[in-house]
Amino acid sequence: MIRGLWHVSFTVSNLERSVEWYSKVLGLEYVRGQVQDNEYTRALVGFPDARLKVAQLRIPNLTIPVSRHHIELVEYEHPRGAAIPLPTNSPGVGHWAFVVDDIHAEVTRLKGLGVRFKSESPNLITEGVNRGGCTIYFLDPDGITLELMQPPV
């Protein structure tokens, strides 16, 4: 039986660039980083010669899980993976949704930092359990889809 969620993770092409972006643009808090160059990691990921750089981040002011982080970014130094298209309609492509208080202000702030969005402005949710809220998709430096969500009042 599943008891909780340990963390979520994305593989990125350049760990340092991604840590800087997620920290400065989204305001996530860097917890720690490490190089994983060991038999345990190679067995886990299924690459006999794997060497990974990993950064762990967390959402400030959110309950701290046992692991001390919520988000993990991973760069495969070896073997390097190929960049692939990440359209949201492809099986296996995920996204993270971040809750905000004022989505319009946050979109304006992020656009000022050069963040790319999939729509011009936040989308009013007109159906379903989140009716009355607003949401918008945007992209990180690797083209990974992220979402801002302002819940209904």
**Predicted local distance difference test score (pLDDT) of residue 115:** 98
**Predicted local distance difference test score (pLDDT) of residue 100:** 96
**Predicted local distance difference test score (pLDDT) of residue 56:** 94
User: What domains appear along the chain, each with residue ranges and CATH number?
Assistant: 8-78 (3.10.180.10), 96-150 (3.10.180.10)
Whole-structure pTM value: 0.92
**Predicted local distance difference test score (pLDDT) of residue 55:** 97
**Predicted local distance difference test score (pLDDT) of residue 61:** 86
Q: How far apart are CA 104 and CA 121, in angstroms?
A: 8
Q: What are the mean pLDDT values of the chain's consecutive 10-residue runs (153 residues total)?
A: 88 98 96 97 98 95 80 97 92 94 98 97 97 98 97 93
Enumerate the H helices of 6-152 as residue ranges: 15-24, 39-45, 103-112
Q: Quick check: 113 and 51 in contact, CB under 8 A?
A: no
Q: How far apart are CA 72 and CA 87, in angstroms?
A: 21
